[in-house]
Amino acid sequence: MKEIIIKIPKSFENYFDAAIVRAKYLYPDLEITKPENSESLTIISKNGNFDKSKFEKEFLNILYRERIYSDTLAIRKTIYGTS
């Protein structure tokens, strides 16, 4: 098992949970947790085969996409007339 820690900007704090759920789906061999009151993620690779820089880049992309989705939800609801 290989364990790493990735620091996440505090401005993305509200989007952690949704991004973690998506990352767990995309990376089933990883155990991804966010310690309480922390601005980091702990990732444990179950098979030891893990590229930290690739995962970090991918996770930050997932996190950013989640933020965009959340920030634009009200606009999309207005445009499409849904509640």
H runs (alpha helix) in 1-83: 16-26, 52-80
Return the pLDDT at 61. 94
Q: What is the residue whose two structure tokens read 């989007």?
A: 15
Return the pLDDT at 83. 62
Return the pLDDT at 68. 94
- pLDDT tens digits, residue range 32-51? 988 887 788 888 888 777 78
**Domains of the chain, CATH where assigned:** 2-80 (3.30.70)
CA distances from 56 to 21, 42, 53, 59 (A): 15, 11, 5, 5
3 Cβ partners below 8 Å, 6+ apart?
42, 43, 44, 45
Mean pLDDT computed over every residue of the chain? 87
